[in-house]
Structure formats: C-alpha cells, structure tokens
Chains A and B, each alone.
Chain A
C-alpha cells in the first residue's frame, strides 16, 4: 500500500465537526479506506476534538487544533495537538458498565470509545502543547469485522 500523509487544522468550535467529517471523507477517497473504517476514525477524532473544545481552554480565545494522519503499510497513525490545559486522556478511568439505566453516565464514554476503536494510544506534553498519537492497524480491524 502506498503511504499517505494528510494534515489539517480546525478552529476550537464544535461547528468544525462538519469540517472534520469533510477532511476525513477526502482522506478516505484518496486512500480508498472502507466506509466502516472511516466512520470509526471519524468518531475517535470527533470525541477527542469535542473534549478539547469543551474542556481544554481556560480562555475564550479562538485556538487551532492540529491533525495529522499517516497511512503506511496498513497502519494508520493519527496525531492531535492542542495548546489547551495539560490533559492526559489515558489517565481517565473507563466508566463502569452500568447495571441499570438509571445508573448509566456519559462522562468518560468518549475516551472509552476511542480506546476500544484504536489499537494504541500515546500522550505527550511538549512546549505547552498536548500531543496524542494513536495507531490503528487496518489488517486487525478487517479481521475484527469478519469475526462479527
């Protein structure tokens, strides 16, 4: 498989979720990724972006969030960088599986979804920026889908 690299920036506003989707559609067209895989990627980047925009900034200024996607040898590598408050999503505990509807909570579910859909996640704080790198092996996800 040919390697691809794709970068873009989004403003710190939830209306940019639509732009995120457009970028991922474009990346999907260039690389020929399956619809299911593109949707999984979309939800992971959506959850992380929504978290950053909702809780990441101590001021009301507009910030930019950087995205880089690399596809090499059937492995997708995503990087999201933001200059918000230090936040390591990996330190967040997975929510407990609720036994009853009334006990169910949404807090922490976004990160839980990302953990389930990605194969590897790594967090770094460098020069005032949060940097989250995630990997998804496309061959693994193909096998997973066949099992379903």
Chain B
C-alpha cells in the first residue's frame, strides 16, 4: 500500500494505491488523521490505483468522511475499480459518500 497527498485549489487529495486491508490500514488511518489536522473541509480519495479493499480499510475511509462531514465539508471518492466499488456497495456506503468515475470529474464537482 502506498499513500500520498496533495492540495489542489484547497481540496485535499489523498491517493491510496495497492492493497488496503487489516495489515496496511493502521498506517493509512494514521496518515489520513495527520493530514486532517489542518482545516481542510473538502476531501477527495483518489482510488485509481487501489487494487483491493477490506472492511478494515473501509473503517479508515469512513472515519475520515465523518470528520469532514462534522466540519460541514464535502468528501468524495473517485476511480474505484469494479471490485472496490462492490465492497462499498455491499456495505451500503455508495448512497452515503458521493462517488465519481474519474478524479477530474470529482475535482470539478468539489471546486463548484
């Protein structure tokens, strides 16, 4: 698992690549919490390189989404492969967090 971040027009973009599971999610969770210490209230998860996700990984995403929501901000996911989307869908989260096909699309939406 590889996790990085960047800021674009005050939108915090967190990119996660590889496998987000019970072994790698503590590191991701810590990374995300650290980045959320600022006052960003618009967050985009770039999942274009995310190959695999389990419920342990979902926990880290959900906790970040809740934090942004409590700041009355906006959170979005983009670039999910079919399998990662399936996990969000089974968990009932596709109706709770907006999902865009591409990062560009999500950035446009978050900027408006």
Binding site for B on A (CB under 8 A): 14-15, 17-18, 21, 36, 39-40, 42-43, 46-47, 50, 53-54, 95, 97-98, 100-102, 104, 106, 109-110, 112-113, 116-117
Contacts of B55 in A (CB 8 A): 47, 106, 109-110, 113
- Of B19, B23, B83, B97, which one neighbours A101 at CB under 8 angstroms? B97
| Residues of B56-112 whose CB lies within 8 A of A | 56, 58-59, 62, 65-66, 69-70, 82-83, 87, 90-93, 96-97
Query: What residue of chain A has the Cβ atom nearest to residue B19's Cβ?
Result: A21
Query: What residue of chain B has the Cβ atom nearest to residue A46's Cβ?
Result: B54
Q: Which 8 A-B pairs have the closest CB atoms?
A: A50-B22, A97-B92, A106-B59, A109-B55, A110-B55, A14-B23, A17-B23, A101-B96
Chain A: minimal CB distance from B42 (Å): 15
Given contacts A98-B92, A101-B65, A101-B96, contact A106 B58 (CB under 8 A): yes
B21 within 8 Å of A by Cβ?
Answer: yes
Separation of A117 and B65 alpha carbons in the complex (Å): 26
Separation of A101 and B58 alpha carbons in the complex (Å): 13
Give 27 CB contacts A-B under 8 Å.
Answer: A14-B22, A15-B23, A17-B22, A36-B83, A43-B52, A43-B54, A46-B21, A47-B55, A50-B22, A53-B22, A97-B92, A98-B92, A98-B93, A98-B96, A101-B66, A101-B97, A102-B66, A102-B69, A102-B70, A104-B66, A104-B92, A106-B58, A106-B59, A109-B55, A110-B54, A112-B91, A117-B90
